[in-house]
Structure 1
Amino acid sequence: MAKEVSRQFGVVLQRRPAVSKWADWVWSVADIVPDAPATDGWREIAREGDVVRYMNAPFTATLYEKMVEAYDSNIETGQPAIWVALAENDAGDPPWRVIGVTVDPYQAQSWQEAGEGLVERIALAPDAVAWMARFLQEVPEAPAFRKRRRDSAKVEEPQFGKTPIFSPEHRRSEQD
């Protein structure tokens, strides 16, 4: 049993005309392609009128043994998802670069809380859900949480003829 497994994905980005007078284009992640062939940056894959789709691959999503609870919660939603984080790239066409892909909803939430770029939630393909489920079945059950017991507090011994300041028996009063 591996402590982590990875899988490659391709990101499909879509550009369509905006209806707003403040923006010319609306950019969104249209799809995720499991095991997509490698591209050298963004490559145009489809054009229908003003709507253009680009693909960039590969990007790796890794499942870690310690994050089993997060993957379980993703699958248990009934609509397993993969998230894609994009950052603006003024020098490129399209003007976005992929920061990462993840199936961990907590990592996706941290990307969203950063408040920069674009984080898109995409439905996870059935074979990718099966990949996650196989990993979760192979991982041993996490040990039950055990609350640790406190050690008894050490009481400071008097030294140099003075009572310790933080001694439970000899607390300083506000009048001292």
Structure 2
Amino acid sequence: MSTHPPETLPQSLPIAAILEKRPSISRWADAYWTATGVIVGERSEPNATLLHTSNGIAQYLYPGLTARLHLDECESYYHNLKAPYPSGYIVASLAADGTPTPYHFTLSFDEANSYLQGSAQVYPVPLPPELYGWVEAYVLEHYAPELRKKRRLTDINDKGH
């Protein structure tokens, strides 16, 4: 199916998440956190690093995440790639003060939804081109969508005979 030999396609890639802290307009929270993207590749800094601040908005880089591909998630990857806005999902736990700590990254909407049903915070991010190409090659190598079959129309006067 694919022109990529299986041995050239890595099963995982290192990821760093970029999260943004903004002042909150709510009286119940001091800050509002969002994810703005991911960077593919190893990072030398082991902990969260402040990247930029401006007008009370701060961006942080969280290294140490890994994108992994699993055969049983191929259908979810396929639907993600066909979505109007293909996404990756950063999964984080929240500290008592609302500060997120990312601990997982997935390309599967189904897996992200499972975390969301639990107590995790899930941040969708746009899929960068290098991740899109990697997932696309994996799906082409390992997945073929099933063709839908039309149901045969039955005559309403037919009593099943």
In structure 2, the CA distance between the partners of 1:32 and 1:20, relative to structure 1 (3 Å rule), is same
**2:67 matched residue in structure 1:** 61
In structure 2, the CA distance between the partners of 1:66 and 1:82, relative to structure 1 (3 Å rule), is same
In structure 2, the CA distance between the partners of 1:66 and 1:23, relative to structure 1 (3 Å rule), is closer
How many residues align? The count is: 141
Q: TM-score, normalised by structure 2?
A: 0.77
Unpaired stretches in structure 2, ≥5 consecutive residues? 1-5, 148-161
The question of whether the paired residues in 1 share the 8 Å contact of 2:75 and 2:145 is answered with: no
**2:154 matched residue in structure 1:** none
Q: Moved runs in structure 1, 4+ residues, more than 6 A?
A: none
Q: TM-score, normalised by structure 1?
A: 0.71
Unpaired stretches in structure 1, ≥5 consecutive residues? 145-176
1: distance between equivalents of 2:36 and 2:143?
Answer: 35
Identity across the alignment (%): 18
Residue 102 of structure 1 deviates from its aligned partner by 0.1
AA at the equivalent of 2:67 = A
1:129 and 2:135 matched: no
Q: Secondary structure at the match of 2:134?
A: helix
Aligned-pair Cα RMSD in Å: 2.5
User: What does 1:70-85 align with in structure 2 at a 5 Å threshold?
Assistant: 70-85=76-91
Larger Rg: 1
Q: Which of 103, 106, 120 does residue 102 from structure 1 map onto?
A: 106
In structure 2, the CA distance between the partners of 1:89 and 1:23, relative to structure 1 (3 Å rule), is closer
Residue 60 of structure 1 deviates from its aligned partner by 0.5
1:138 and 2:149 matched: no
The question of whether the paired residues in 2 share the 8 Å contact of 1:38 and 1:56 is answered with: no
Question: What are the superposed Cα offsets for residues 103-138 of structure 1, whole Å, 9 maximum, x if unpaired?
Answer: 011100101111x24211111011210111111222
